[in-house]
Chains A and B, each alone.
Chain A
Amino acid sequence: MSEQQPSTSSEKEKISDEPITNQEQLIDPFIDFECHICRMKERSLFGELKVVDGSYDSPVYFIRDPFKPPSKDRIKKPCLDDFLVLGAPCSACNQPVCMSDACSLFFGTNFCAPCVSRERRRFPPQLIRGIITKYEAKQSSK
């Protein structure tokens, strides 16, 4: 999984990008993303995000960067900064989890806080200290 995908990126990008700008939205490409830990809820796109300057190697929940005006330049290919990734499924339990430090951790692949907590022995300790403390604090406050 460390292998790079052959570069079909620009085509893939079009698929994920078009529905936002296109006038006729026959099928609503947006789905509801909800983090199963913090319950953050957003309308988002789901899929592989591959653009010129980088790519995510598994599907993610993403939207166009809402804080930045859409590029005036139509020729310019979109890059990672034109998007905002909200979250991704946890590779262990497959539940959607957001990008917050308290909810997920990326180490080789994406993990949600409960999975990290459960499998804590398999991670380098200093790496997961933060997320574990936050997660446990949240558990105890519930």
Chain B
Amino acid sequence: MYSVTQEEYEKHRGALFRHFLPDEPGTSRDGYNGNRRGEKSAAQELIETKRKSVQSYFTRFFRERKGETNDHFDLKRVKYDDLGIPQDTGGLNRLRFKGENLGIVPTQLNHIPPWLYRHFEYAHYVALQFNQHQKFQKLQKLRKLQKELPIAERATEIVELLKTNQVLIVAGDTGCGKSTQVPQYLLKAGYTGVACTQPRRIACTALARRVAFETLNQYGSEVAFQIRFETTKSQRTKLLFLTEGLLLRQMEKDSLLEKYNVIILDEVHERHLTSDLLIGLLRDLCSKREDLKLILMSATINLDLFKGYFEGAPVVQVPGRLFPIDVRWHPIKQFIDQSEKKTHKIDPEPYLRILELIDKQFPSTQRGDALIFLNGVAEISMVAEHLKNYAEQTKGWIILMLHSTLSVEEQDKVFDQSPTGVRKCILSTNVAETSVTIDGIRFVIDSGKVNLIKHEPGTGTQKLTEFWVSKASANQRKGRAGRTGPGICYRLYSQEQFEKMEDFTQSEINRVSLQEMSLKMISLNLGLDPRTFPFIEKPSEDVLNEGLEILKFQRVLRSDRDLLTLTALGNMVSKLPVEVPIAKMLVYGCVVDEIEVMLTVAAGLSVQSPFTNRSYRELEIVERRASLTSPMGDPFTLIAVFREWVLQKAYEGSARRWTMENGIDEHRLYEISKLRSQYRQILEDAGLVEKASAAETGEDDSRQRRIDQGEKRKLYDLKRSQRNNDRRQKVLNANKHFDKILEDKEEEDLEAEKDPLKADVKTVEFLLSHKQRDVETIRKSHKISRRTAEVVRVIIAAGLYPNFSILDPVNKYGYGQEMFAHTRLKPFAQIHPNSSIAQYHPESIDPRQSSEGFSQLHQVPFYGLLLETTKPYICNVMPVPAVYALLVAQKIVIEDWTELIVDDFLELKFRKSEDCRSIILDVKEIRYELTKGLASKLVGEEGFSSRRLTKYIDLLNQSIVDKGIELSVKRNVHPPKVLTGIGIHSPDGGIDKEEDVDDLVQRFEKNDVTTHDDRDEEDQKVLDELRSDVMCPPTRDMVEDAEKLEKKKKEVPKESYYEKLLKRQKAKEDKGDDKDMKKPKLEPIDVKEE
């Protein structure tokens, strides 16, 4: 019998603990954890757990066995039989592992009785073994869960089928495990190069993380994801989750997708535009690549469609797994005030009643959260406000919101846990239907409504309208209640209504405009024609043709050929992963050497507005940020905001505070800065901008390189530790609802910002990618002079074209006034009240016209998007002087030198005929320079200098401002849908078709154009001289001469500029006929007149 008293143990305890379980190096004793954001290192945590378990072992030993035992804890004394079974007691027999110096008491612990030492050693190993045991159980549990998934039974079948078939369809409903398991089966079967597409970025990252965890490769890179900005891919990656759009983009470079052996298209039943296109393309690819395997994974709802499209492909159908869900119908009266002009406001009362019902029927001790599906942000805010009052009274609920315009931090809050006794109630749009899965939902409250964006053919409008959901999505919503346990779905509509609903939600291809998709198809260079492509579901021919027309309007598709061919510009545009207008801006930005600013504008237009939704309602913030806004419109506001942020970030170190004070979502700015560098990369690859040299980036400096390396290492560590931290679920504060949830975080951030050592991942990343030099570039380039501003305006307009509008003549320009603008196809669109113009600078677009409508100040607003919600709105508005429309328009008809009709839509009437002539002259000059610059950029010609173009634009602006050219603006109420007769039409019926970019490009490529060697001699003075000539009212002959000269410039390009200039001056002096060496400019051309 061995024994030890508690006193004896207590006496030696400290020394033993210090010996066996010392603190992690770097952890200070006083309990202060100096780590970033105060968290303990995982190793230290493990040590503390072990200490606790040793301590509790001894506590139990004293309590249950009174400190007595027969175990001698001495391995040396144990006898074993022939099987190795011990014939003697001694606790160590039950331990799987042993220390090296087992039982040998180290000298510094000589004062401790050897038996106690050995006993403590035993307890310590028990703790180690317990840790092993826990990890093993975790693994066991994981494998058990996997085995229990409905799809697990079919694992071998799936792998076998894939051996003999090229295409396989796996159909299974929510919870069957297809997305996580099927890729793993492939990995186990030895496939490498597996790509799995997802419609959403968030699904890519989440699935990659989950599958990596399940394959025990959580910290390796065998399973990786790739989304727009981020990838975890490495050479060792065998399975890659990526977005559909990204796979499509990869097809552009590698049309056979040779790096993949298996392609899995997941969630094809959602019928997104890209997935529809991919299905078609990959079906085609299968016939080209016999070794490629294709797996389609879909829900069971519209399985027949896919079966029919892939004839003969085997189908593996798996039941879903959901807990039983009780459906309760609570129909409410729909649309109480439908007759009123104001939109039908949602009545929050029924939602409140359901919450009350839940409180009544289920004790708060039973866990389970609620999820409310509503159609839009406005409805969510309204109901949330109402429910918050209730929640504040009862203290039983935390009200949260989830929709895509929230900041990422706010969105993440829905995943946090509510404290015991309190339920969370999440009000969500349909993002929670498929994209976002929240655990622990027991109650679903379904309004039955959804807001869908629908392209309205014929007007170019994106219309956001409220619809009844389809049966498929109503059931999907219901299913959200049964993921973790039995649930209840409250439907706020009647069963009859449910019966009336459509079976499926209309697929995207039937709902949206098809121009971007058409462009993508054509740019794949596979000779595809969207009009004849065998889509899984044929899109409407009208919508398709309209899309093609728009592409022609945007000059990315050649309008003069039947076969769909991209223009040189279109070719470049399709290489940039952005919408056409933004791509065009970038390309033109390169032409005029304003790439820094254009990168910001383009990036800014590709992401959501950096101003938070909420900030528009807070008067203080709205006033504070007034100085950032620009009367030149939203793009310029964006430039100012970005500049200020970069400076705050780089020099002040108080960007977080600044963004909060100005109601700005910093994430959007990070996105912009990332997009900027991505776009720059693309432009560099395309040869449009030059790569920064090593000397410029500091890469030739070994010291700098070392610093960078260190920083990169730090960033990598930070990212990793953050990723690991993210896994911990946080608990919500019961008193903080949707409007207050970020308070703690904000305070913490502000606190952290004071200490540069606590910089978060994003800041480090930002500082690493923005060196002093880059920040200085932004600081300088984004402070826009008047002169640059004009150029930038023209470039943005060129990108946005044909999206321009005409202000309504009866508008009142004041704060809070509704201002209407007529677009070509949609009259009476309103300037969005949140735009810089409407909110801060309405007076700046007031033409203050005379009674006949003449004014020097007429402007036409260009816009990024025409979106119809309750009303048609134009967003991202940028007004420019009306004359600028002439610079980008395709068709200008000159009527007797006072009136110009632009694109059969905008009518400009000049008070004086000479103004009109001079303007036309300037305009032609600029247009030609722009075309030429574009062409030389597109073929990579070095010779073009933007100085002249900049100068011309400046002069045009000056002449508008200084000379005070007065004109009136009218609109053609019924402009034709399709524009015919492109070119500049003179009053005498001649049409100046202008130089086509493509012809120029071709000519450049044939090397017809030789060096522009004497460009450098160009002198500002010469230019000024030239322009001063033009200032005298030119006669028609003069205009023609100028045109001829222009033409000649193109045709006899060897002629130096100076020579041309001389000739031109001579021509003017002669006032007449030196047509000897020029071809007639105005030849009758076979252009279709309307």
Bound complex: CA A2 to CA B87 (Å) = 13
Question: Are A122 and B83 in contact (CB-based, < 8 A)?
Answer: yes
Known: A54-B125, A69-B724, A100-B140. A1 touches B218 (CB 8 A): no
Known: A2-B76, A84-B136, A99-B132. A57 touches B97 (CB 8 A): yes
Question: Are A4 and B46 in contact (CB-based, < 8 A)?
Answer: no
- Chain B residues in contact with chain A, CB under 8 A? 42, 46, 75-76, 78, 80-81, 83-86, 93-102, 125, 128, 131-133, 135-136, 138-140, 143, 213, 216-219, 717, 720, 724
Q: Please, which residues of chain B bring their CB within 8 A of the CB of A9?
A: 100
- Selected from B99, B138, B139, B218, the residue in CB contact (under 8 A) with A54 is B99
- Selected from A55, A66, A80, A109, the residue in CB contact (under 8 A) with B100 is A55
Bound complex: CA A42 to CA B99 (Å) = 27
Q: Is A126 an interface residue (CB 8 A)?
A: no
Q: Is A92 an interface residue (CB 8 A)?
A: yes
Q: How would residues 53 to 96 of chain A score, 1 for a CB under 8 Å from any chain B CB and 0 otherwise?
A: 11111000001011111101000000011001110000110000
| Further pairs besides A53-B128, A99-B133: 16, Cβ < 8 Å | A1-B84, A4-B100, A9-B100, A53-B99, A54-B97, A57-B97, A66-B216, A70-B219, A81-B46, A84-B132, A84-B135, A84-B136, A91-B84, A108-B93, A122-B83, A123-B85
Known: A9-B100, A53-B128, A81-B131. A100 touches B83 (CB 8 A): no
Q: Shortest distance in angstroms between A23's beta carbon and chain B's nearest beta carbon?
A: 9
Q: Is A139 an interface residue (CB 8 A)?
A: no
Q: Please, which residues of chain A bring their CB within 8 A of the CB of B217?
A: 66
Bound complex: CA A71 to CA B732 (Å) = 31
Question: Are B83 and A57 in contact (CB-based, < 8 A)?
Answer: no
Q: Please, which residues of chain B bring their CB within 8 A of the CB of A63?
A: 216
Q: Is A7 an interface residue (CB 8 A)?
A: yes
Q: Please, which residues of chain A bring their CB within 8 A of the CB of B99?
A: 53-55
Known: A67-B135, A84-B132. A7 touches B84 (CB 8 A): no
Question: Are B80 and A1 in contact (CB-based, < 8 A)?
Answer: yes
Q: Quick one: closest B residue to A43, CB to CB? A: B216
User: Which of B131, B140, B143, B213 has its CB near the most chain A CB atoms (within 10 A)?
Assistant: B140
Task: Tell me the chain A residues, 90-142 only, with Cβ under 8 Å from chain B.
Answer: 91-92, 98-100, 106-111, 119, 122-123, 127
Question: Are A72 and B717 in contact (CB-based, < 8 A)?
Answer: yes
Question: Are A100 and B136 in contact (CB-based, < 8 A)?
Answer: yes
Q: Quick one: closest B residue to A62, CB to CB? A: B132
Known: A40-B140, A63-B216, A84-B135. A4 touches B102 (CB 8 A): yes
Q: Please, which residues of chain A bring their CB within 8 A of the CB of B139?
A: 42, 66, 84, 86
Bound complex: CA A70 to CA B81 (Å) = 41
Bound complex: CA A85 to CA B102 (Å) = 21
Q: Quick one: closest A residue to B83, CB to CB? A: A92
Bound complex: CA A98 to CA B80 (Å) = 23
Bound complex: CA A71 to CA B95 (Å) = 26
Q: Quick one: closest B residue to A127, CB to CB? A: B94
Bound complex: CA A9 to CA B139 (Å) = 27
Question: Are B128 and A54 in contact (CB-based, < 8 A)?
Answer: yes
Bound complex: CA A40 to CA B141 (Å) = 11
A-B contact pairs, 23 of them (CB 8 A): A1-B84, A2-B76, A2-B78, A2-B80, A4-B98, A4-B101, A42-B139, A49-B97, A54-B99, A55-B98, A63-B216, A66-B217, A68-B42, A68-B219, A80-B97, A81-B128, A84-B132, A84-B135, A84-B139, A99-B136, A108-B84, A122-B83, A122-B85
8 tightest CB-CB pairs across the interface, nearest first?
A66-B216, A109-B84, A108-B86, A54-B97, A2-B75, A84-B135, A99-B136, A108-B93
Bound complex: CA A123 to CA B125 (Å) = 22
Q: Please, which residues of chain B bring their CB within 8 A of the CB of A5?
A: 100
Q: Shortest distance in angstroms between A100's beta carbon and chain B's nearest beta carbon?
A: 6
User: Which of A2, A65, A91 has its CB near the most chain B CB atoms (within 10 A)?
Assistant: A2
Q: Quick one: closest B residue to A50, CB to CB? A: B100
Question: Are A85 and B100 in contact (CB-based, < 8 A)?
Answer: no
Q: Please, which residues of chain A bring their CB within 8 A of the CB of B132?
A: 80, 84-85, 99
Bound complex: CA A136 to CA B774 (Å) = 72
Q: Quick one: closest B residue to A105, CB to CB? A: B94
Question: Are A85 and B42 in contact (CB-based, < 8 A)?
Answer: no
Q: Shortest distance in angstroms between B930's beta carbon and chain A's nearest beta carbon?
A: 52
